Amino acid sequence: MPCSSLLDLSRRACIRNIDGITDVGDLPYHLLRPILLKVENPEQLREIETASPQICGHDAELWRAFMKRDIPNWEKKPHEPRNPNSWGKVYRKLLREDEEEQRQSEEALRAALNIRKEEKEKNQATIIHKAIDPEKRKARPAAKSSSTALLSFGGGSRTKTNTAQGVLDRARRETQETRNARNSALTMPTHLLNVKASQVRQAPRGMVVGYNRPAPPKIVGSSISRPAPIFISRPVVTDRDRALNAAIRSEREEKERRLKALTGLSNTGAQKPLAPPRVPGARGIASLPGIAAAGSPTSRTASPAPAPAPQQRKRPGYDPFMAVKRRKV
């Protein structure tokens, strides 16, 4: 007959609903075998065993199948129970042992990994979201630690420090800002603004150095009040020049006499006869340098001209240690 027996039908129905089976009553094992083979969960099998102990001895093959599936290396371990009915116990014991072994190996692995992780973390920088500057903390010892406001004004920051890049950027920016703040001209206090520019804290180095140097030798006849101009070189006076100068002087005196005689201003005395200059040639040649030479020696040989009497000063002279007069703006 084509349709299956009720036995087969019911068996198939049982297998379909295997998850709900916890008790097989007093059914003999040979009927239940195909159904029990399909039991996935060893716990369920344990329940069925408890409910229907008549299957206990026969389900050894079932437990063996479970051991093969769940416990690695089950052949090496003692897996035959002393009591043929207690296969379930054997399975459970082996499972517990296996779990214990796994846990231990996991711990060992974790420990080994943690060592590496710790070493890495030692070299890594920890991101601190709020660093407290010790100097600033001294300035503001009592800060409001608890602010329970839901909206905080100015609570955000434009540089987020949740990544390493963000931390570096923020550090860079903060150092820049502090540097600018320190070096800025705005940090000068007001009462020192004008004073600082003109205040002299120490003597100029040139004077200090000059103080220690021995005094230069004193030049006789030199007048400090009328120093020689720098751009004119000091010419050497020779006998020839002196002779020339004498000649020029005498000629000049004669011309003066004549002029005075003509104009009749002053009568200097007897008329002197016109005498040609003693050195006519030399005059023409050395006129220019002579005049030039005449200029400097006369100034030099002349006695130091009396310096004008020092004027009466109303205000004190320049004193570098004096404070600068404050200009009214």
Contacting residues toward other proteins, per CB under 8 A? 1-7, 9-14, 16-17, 20-21, 24-25, 27-28, 31
- Report in angstroms how near the CB of residue 48 gets to other proteins at its nearest: 11
Residue closer to other proteins by CB (options 27, 193) is 27
DSSP 106-151: HHHHHHHHHHHHHHHHHHSPP--S-PPPHHHHHH--S-------SS
Q: Which is nearer to other proteins, 31 or 247 (CB)?
A: 31
- The residue among 9, 35, 6 whose CA lies nearest residue 23 is 35
Q: Identify the three-state secondary structure at position 100.
A: helix
For residue 155, the one-letter residue type is G
Q: Least distance to other proteins from the beta carbon of 86, Å?
A: 25
State the first-to-last Cα distance of the chain, in angstroms, to the nearest integer: 128
Residue number, 22 or 222, with CB nearest to other proteins: 22
Q: 10 Å Cβ neighbour count for 240?
A: 12
Which of residues 18 and 237 has its CB atom nearest to other proteins in the complex? 18
CB of 88 to other proteins, least distance (A): 21
Report the nearest approach of other proteins to the CB of residue 19 (Å): 9
b/e sequence 253-270, b meaning 16+ C-beta within 10 Å: eeeebeeeeeeeeeeeee
**Smallest distance from the beta carbon of 3 to other proteins, in angstroms?**
5
Cβ distance to other proteins smaller for residue 14 or 45: 14
